[in-house]
Amino acid sequence: MIGPDADEFDRGHFLGHASGGELDINLFPQDRRLNRGWSEEGKLFRKMESHAASHPGTFFFHGAVYADDSWVPDRLEYGVLLDDREWWIETFHNRA
């Protein structure tokens, strides 16, 4: 899929299936440990995704930050608008 380190990546979804994400342009190479919640950052990422999915109608965003001209994001920004109208925003590393 990506090159010699392809086994380190999953087909991540900018909008998770539980939040209505589809399988079209929604896909990108995502660090497997982050996507599956295997790392400390991954646990936090999954917690944020779960919050958005378990609160239908919650506004959230998921963006990619690139450090080169590849299609593999260097970092991911994820933000959730909480019930008290405060933003919960985190940046996650997407490369080892």
**pLDDT tens-digit map of 27-40:** 899 999 999 999 99
Mean pLDDT of all residues in 1-9? 64
| DSSP codes, 11-33 | EEESS-GGGT--SSTTEEEEEHH
Q: How far, in Å, CA of 96 to CA of 84, rounded?
A: 35
Q: How far, in Å, CA of 59 to CA of 66, rounded?
A: 24
Indicate the pLDDT class of residue 18, thresholds 50, 70 and 90.
low
- Number of domains observed in the structure of the chain: 1
Residue 35 counted as domain residue: yes
Q: Which pLDDT belongs to residue 24?
A: 65
Residue 1 counted as domain residue: no
Q: Residues of the chain with pLDDT > 90: what percent?
A: 71
Q: How far, in Å, CA of 47 to CA of 61, rounded?
A: 14
Q: Has residue 7 got a pLDDT over 50? A: yes
> Of 8 and 1, which is predicted with more confidence?
8
Q: Which of 23, 48, 46, 28 is nearest to 95 (CA)?
A: 28
Residue 45 counted as domain residue: yes
Expressed as residue numbers, the domain containing 48 is 7-93
